Structure 1
């Protein structure tokens, strides 16, 4: 489902997807026909995605998406890396490396739903085609959103070509392996809706899901993937190359 979520946030001009879930309607009284879209992730509108046969929406299947709104990471390898762009006058502007420091990076990574900053480098993900942000962030590092940070006018034009800041955040610390004797072995759990919940998958998808979990935890290659009992959890489906479990599709709650 990650491709569809990316397209929805892009079409609404709301930055990167931060979270997704399934559940009942947020606004009661709405209903209708469901058309399941199949997106690659690079489409500009959900209408450009493929569609399956329409059906009647069951309350369990409404999709909820949270987008970052004010900041995004673009042209990176996944949701947690890319060129930093901020919303400015209804358009997106790249940020100059000279106006961006570690505290700012900590807030951006938190804002887009990722872990701590891993690397910060100008020009790593290109320059972008839009304008350059003309202010300097003064984050303290503890803010939840970039919009919570103070800003100041840039005193000197120190932004040189090729210095649009590129940021790589670590993957979110929302997956763990339990009951296996080490952090790299055990049953898969993901922190979801305020609690740790077990993760289940179909037999044919176990190896792909295991590869993604091992990659996210920095545990190397998969040694074995065994079926287990899933309670108070949800199902996921991965294709294998995803960098974190949240980039995989999510199926019904269990």
Structure 2
């Protein structure tokens, strides 16, 4: 048996295994993405996002059962992987291994995304079935259905369920019609609906969703990161009674930071920081002794002292560095129509619209930047000529020439946005190693 403890969801946390009648931890010696992948698959938590050492999710207690774990991609469970004998190790609990899984089932029918909106938590609803993405008809579409989508994506409670292609008309298949979700449905594919592809709709009826995490329509959803090196890093500030103020670092921890990162659409916390790491704020210290739960939709819903009640100074301002930088429109990137999130047609978000990349000068250096930006390893191949299908709309980038130091596709040298001599038959694609883990990775994460 294996479980994940002290994470921000059921698919993240410290790795613990059950042996000889008791639970114990796993040492991070040799812990890598292949081992992480086996744990995520064993738990039904979808592909691995990251594997962490150094007790990222807090040190455990009791026995350290496993050390020097060496799984292969075909290992059926963590206990079947090569390792030292049970209980033999050279570690302490500050070396306990952790895992972050995607939380999405391997079943393609459980893949859902929101497209063409201002962020990953608002847009046109699309589902993956039979190897391709398609839309959802708005017949019977309502707030209960939207709630399931928002929960499945980790985007907090739903705000609205727009109809009539509010976020633009999709292309290809309309996979679902007459969706009727119950409050307990774990995913959109578990809701009652017509059979796949059976509909009487047009794309002018494509359904949409707006979740609470990424929309700031009232003061009680506003949070920002200040003075950092990106929109997803910095000093945490919240808005209350018409004024921005800081958060004291008393009891500030990974779960609290995870709520903030998710609320901003910035992925997971990479570093949870104290003592005004990004400089001291000014004005009010609004929150102290914050205690968030993993499923809190925003920092405003977390337990804390009453507003403005604290025993702190600004040199105790809390900060965070989130794993992803998804606030910048020019840094939004996705792979479409592949077998998972780490392979497909390359699409970038610019000027409020998703578009494709022309394959002129497209090569492995460019693909490596895409894979690295998406946390998908390195590029295995960079297919040209719309191998993953032709896109639609704007071709945003042409003549891309990335260097090894580029941190995102939008930072690579290329023609100006939208300047190209291409057609969609030349759309570029990428296959990253994140989907092809046939050999043991040597590095320790």
Residue in structure 1 matched with residue 302 of structure 2 by the alignment: 149
2:179 aligned with 1:19, yes or no? Answer: no
1:136 corresponds, among 289, 294, 305, to: 289
Residues 212-235 of structure 1: per-residue CA shift (max 9 Å, x gap)? 523322457778755442335765
Residue in structure 1 matched with residue 356 of structure 2 by the alignment: 200
| Cα pair 2:334 2:341 within 8 Å, conserved | no
Q: Which has the larger radius of gyration?
A: 2
| Cα pair 1:119 1:168 within 8 Å, conserved | yes
Residue in structure 2 matched with residue 162 of structure 1 by the alignment: 315
1:72 corresponds, among 201, 208, 224, to: 224
Give 1:80 deviation, angstroms.
Answer: 1.8
- Please give the root-mean-square deviation of Cα atoms over the aligned residues, in Å: 4.9
Could you say what secondary structure the match of 1:162 adopts?
helix
2:372 corresponds, among 211, 215, 232, to: 215
Give 1:125 deviation, angstroms.
Answer: 1.4
Give 1:120 deviation, angstroms.
Answer: 0.5
TM-score by length of structure 1 reads 0.53
2:271 aligned with 1:119, yes or no? Answer: yes
Give 1:160 deviation, angstroms.
Answer: 4.4
User: Structure 1, unaligned stretches of length 5 or more?
Assistant: 1-17, 27-64, 192-197
1:38-57 equivalent positions in 2, closer than 5 A: none
Could you say what secondary structure the match of 1:97 adopts?
coil
Distance (Å, rounded) in 2 between the aligned partners of 1:239 and 1:131: 47
* Structure 1 residues 199 and 156, CA gap change in structure 2 (3 angstroms): closer
After superposing the two structures, state which structure 1 stretch, 217-226 or 141-150, moved more: 217-226
User: Structure 2, unaligned stretches of length 5 or more?
Assistant: 1-117, 125-163, 167-213, 327-331, 419-423, 425-445
The structure with the largest strand share of the pair is 1
TM-score by length of structure 2 reads 0.33
Residue in structure 1 matched with residue 346 of structure 2 by the alignment: 188
Distance (Å, rounded) in 2 between the aligned partners of 1:246 and 1:112: 21
Give 1:117 deviation, angstroms.
Answer: 1.3
Residue in structure 1 matched with residue 249 of structure 2 by the alignment: 97
| Cα pair 1:212 1:245 within 8 Å, conserved | yes
Distance (Å, rounded) in 1 between the aligned partners of 2:253 and 2:384: 44
Give 1:85 deviation, angstroms.
Answer: 0.6
Distance (Å, rounded) in 1 between the aligned partners of 2:359 and 2:241: 49
